[in-house]
Amino acid sequence: MIYSIHWPLMQMEKDQGRMVDAGESFDGLLREAVFEAAPHGYLIVDPSFIIIDVNQQYLDLTGTRRENLVGVAMFDAFPDNPDDPTADGVRNLRLSLETARDTGRPHAMAIQKYDIPLRGPQGGFVERHWKPLNTPVLRGAEVVALIHHVVDVTEETIFRRDQAIRLRSAQQLDDLAFWEYDPRTATVYASRAFAAMLALRPKEGTLPAEDYFARIHAEDRAGVQAAFNDVLDAPEHTSVAFSHRLTLPDGATRWLSSHGELVRDHRDALPRFVVVSLDITEAKQQEENLSKALQERDRLLAQKETLLGEVNHRIKNSLQLVSSILNTDARRAGPGEVRTRLERAAARVQAVTSVHEMLYRSNEVSTVTFGSYLRDLCGNLAAGDAGTAGVELVCEAVEVRLPADKAIPLALIVNELVSNAIKHGLAGIENGIIRVTTSLVGQDLVLEVTDSGVGKDEAAEQGLGTRIIAGLVDQLQASMSTGDASPGHRVVIRVPLGNA
């Protein structure tokens, strides 16, 4: 309780502008020292509000000098800010001082905005917020002075004001809400926005925590309670975060994502939780729709893979049938040009057939491991025409996955180059060698086919096989070069892979 100050030993000496005792007693000097050393601002006025004395802290708070204040009317020294039409500091402070003077009892003011004039040539005012207490000094029953005690709360007040602005601005968003959960009292202090989220009457206030927990989806309730319980013994400012569904009275389901901090009133107290919740229902719905779309995509891709596998199987069977027919016709044709052409046609079909067979047998229905495939193809050619002609076929292939639209033309090119080498370059040569290699150079696949034969006859007429190779190179958007292998002939084809 605050009492009026009885100061019987003091007398006012306005001519000296300070309060002293009659004999400059030790008590008087001590009082003056305490007054000057006080950590808060003190200003003393007489009953007509003329400034009698002021301590150093008050001078520091207001940026003034003692000689500019003592003997001056308080409201002349500290007028209202003329640039603030809402300024009410002079009126409210005068009423408080009058109340303390007239009643002989202290009067505590609410926090008051009272701007302070800037001393110096620049002039103007600086914003200040104060917590004032006005206390009468009594000599007997007479009020002889008033002590104006102030605490500068400007920083705290502006912080709270800005925080309130941010809070109001945030709560204007329908999907964001603030609330507090107090496990000690099993209550929730809900903002208007949070109450609306819970489909309660949109009113700010305290409600039983059960009203909140009852709205949480039954499958999520234990998880939310655990999120709070797990940090009850944690240090202050420990974060808590959780997401859950709300089941509203109309049966609708909403999703909330909540983040907060643990706070304590003192070290050993059970904590409270200050929480902000965001309605993420639309985001969850989009996530669910995306998940369904991805599942549908995966289903369609699997279906596509199955269908492509079946297509490759049927194509392989059909081409195998065509190859068999061509081989049968070749055998019936007897030796000669017709038989040779039929056998080469059958070999071309078989080259394509083997690609579709590999596609069908592998888990990938649209790409093949071309290195393995090329070795198999060369093995088949070595067991066929090359073996018959006594030619050794060597294959050195790098492993790379190629889509079918690149693998099939390359297979046909290898088939034609090997056939041409056997037919033309190595004809009549014993122990001939054909070497098929592939390598990766940057983003390109380089195919090289060389033979140890007599080389290319530049005067020879271009045959069907050569024209087929040229067409396939164009189809692959590749480049082809030929040259002397000393001995023999070399063909180099460079195929851009891009994103293959």
Q: What is the pLDDT of residue 65?
A: 92
CATH of 173-279, one of 2.40.50.140, 3.30.450.20, 3.40.50.150, 2.60.40.420: 3.30.450.20
Residues of the chain with pLDDT > 70, as a percent, come to 79
- Rg (the chain; Cα; Å): 49
Q: What is the CATH number of domain 366-500?
A: 3.30.565.10
Per-residue pLDDT at 311 exceeds 70: no
Q: What is the pLDDT of residue 81?
A: 93
**Matching CATH topology for 5-157 and 366-500?**
no
Q: What is the pLDDT of residue 13?
A: 42
Per-residue pLDDT at 235 exceeds 70: yes
Q: What is the pLDDT of residue 11?
A: 44
Q: What is the CATH number of domain 5-157?
A: 3.30.450.20
pLDDT tens figures, 2-32: 334 444 334 444 333 344 444 455 566 777 7
CA 247/CA 214 separation, integer angstroms: 9
Kindly report the pTM of this predicted structure.
0.40
Torsion, Cα 189 194 198 199, to 10 degrees, reads 110
Long-range contacts from 404-408, C-beta under 8 angstroms, 24+ separation: 404/355, 404/356, 404/359, 404/366, 404/367, 404/368, 406/476, 406/495, 406/497, 406/500, 407/355, 407/367, 407/368, 407/370, 407/373, 408/351, 408/352, 408/355
CA 500/CA 443 separation, integer angstroms: 9
Q: In Å, how far are 126, 145, 151, 152, 215 from 62, measured between CA atoms?
A: 10, 21, 11, 10, 54
Instruction: Label residue 369 by pLDDT band (50, 70, 90).
Output: confident
Domain boundaries, the chain: 5-157, 173-279, 284-363, 366-500
| Beta strand 401-403 pairing with 367-369 | antiparallel
